[in-house]
Structure 1
């Protein structure tokens, strides 16, 4: 069911579906999760400005965290806690850095550089 279709349902049914989705996400662990030290918490929603975690799952989080999708790390971020809500606690990124798979370079790379060199045979 698409989220926009939820508005066509009665209010109590809609709230029950939303609660069931949140419960299923917490049970399965979700694909997205936040790592704080050695602890992991499932993420309910995620965007470029921050993420949401269920209030009964995670304690007050703050400081440096890592956002993971499955086994791969997406970004490291410095977070600050937002207002806790009924459904989730929103954490905003104060600073967010995507994880790179290559080391940063301190020189300009040529755009027309060869891919490799052939040795003498």
Structure 2
């Protein structure tokens, strides 16, 4: 048995689903000076609302709230149901510190304390 809903009802249900996805997701992408909510994320891609964003291509930054997760190289794959889906070609995790160009020993000193010969 199939249920056929009027177009207005289906549009209302779709709008409610999108609002619920946007409200529940903390993920966002930053492309240039624009920050956009991620509706869904899966292994190898994510989806954003089609009305908010033109087709993106290139580097974007992925955030979980204020925390920078990664930098992604993306390409738009398809648009369906008011969403644009993007495939992630490369993902580089964000680090809290600068990478070293040498191997740091485990027992290396953290800092240098000079001898104080004062009065």
Q: Could you state the TM-score of these two structures normalised by the residue count of structure 2?
A: 0.72
Per-residue CA distance 1:70-118 (angstroms, 9 max, x = gap): 11211111110101111421111111111100110111222x3256479
CA distance in structure 1 between the aligned counterparts of 2:19 and 2:111, rounded to whole angstroms: 56
Decide which structure has greater strand share.
2
For the aligned residues, what is the CA RMSD?
A: 3.0
Q: Distance in 2 between matches of 1:102 and 1:117?
A: 16
- Match in the other structure for 1:91: 86
Deviation at 1:17, TM superposition (A): 6.0
Distance 2:101 2:29 in 1: 31
Normalising by the residue count of structure 1, what TM-score does the alignment of the two structures yield? 0.71
1:21 matched residue in structure 2: 17
* Count of aligned residue pairs for this structure pair: 108
Q: Does the aligned pair in 2 maintain the 1:29–1:42 contact within 8 Å? A: no
Moved >3 Å (runs of 4+): 15-19, 114-121
Gaps in structure 1 of 5+ consecutive residues:
1-9
Pick aligned residue for 2:58 from 56, 59, 63: 63
Q: Which has the larger radius of gyration?
A: 2
**Aligned residue in 2 for 1:4:** none
